[in-house]
């Protein structure tokens, strides 16, 4: 099976930088995704890593280390609208299809 761990809650200040960690265990790793989900809304795609290293997209960056089973999402220049749940999800080759296994999400609160 798969196991994905991420912190339940984090709080940060507007304008600051926050790093949300995710560790995973999977038998057939085939990519790691980060999604953002505001309360009552659909998850929206933020980033995708399949090879080791850093992927940067504007204020958001995501890092992956496959040997360590570790990823993080880095959010810079935090804004109030970044308050949301951040979901780490792993895709593996077993079970067929494009199945993603999600963590429980990290609820980020951005304060003034």
Partner 1 sequence: ETGVTQSPTHLIKTRGQQVTLRCSSQSGHNTVSWYQQALGQGPQFIFQYYREEENGRGNFPPRFSGLQFPNYSSELNVNALELDDSALYLCASSTGRNEKLFFGSGTQLSVL
Q: What angle do CA 29, 33, 35 make, to 5 degrees?
A: 155
Residues between 43 and 102 that touch partner 1 (CB under 8 A): 43-45, 48, 87, 89, 91, 95-102
Least CB distance from residue 109 to partner 1, whole Å? 15
Asked if 104 is part of the footprint of partner 1 (rule: CB under 8 A), the reply reads: yes
Q: What is the rounded CA–CA span in Å between residue 92 and residue 31?
A: 7
Cβ nearer to partner 1, comparing 35 with 63: 35
- Output phi, psi for 16, to 5 deg: -85, -175
Q: Which two tokens mark 16?
A: 């600051």
What residues line the site for partner 1 (CB under 8 A)? 4, 30-31, 33, 35, 41-45, 48, 87, 89, 91, 95-105
């Amino acid at each position: 099976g798969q196991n994905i761990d991420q912190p339940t809650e984090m709080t940060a200040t507007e304008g600051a930088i926050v790093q949300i960690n995710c560790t995973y265990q999977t038998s057939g790793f085939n990519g790691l995704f980060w999604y953002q989900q505001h309360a009552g809304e659909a998850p929206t795609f933020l980033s995708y890593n399949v090879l080791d290293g850093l992927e940067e997209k504007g204020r958001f960056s995501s890092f992956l280390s496959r040997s360590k089973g570790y990823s993080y999402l880095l959010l810079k220049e935090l804004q109030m609208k970044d308050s949301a749940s951040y979901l780490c999800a792993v895709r593996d080759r077993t079970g067929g299809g494009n199945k993603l296994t999600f963590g429980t999400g990290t609820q980020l609160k951005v304060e003034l």
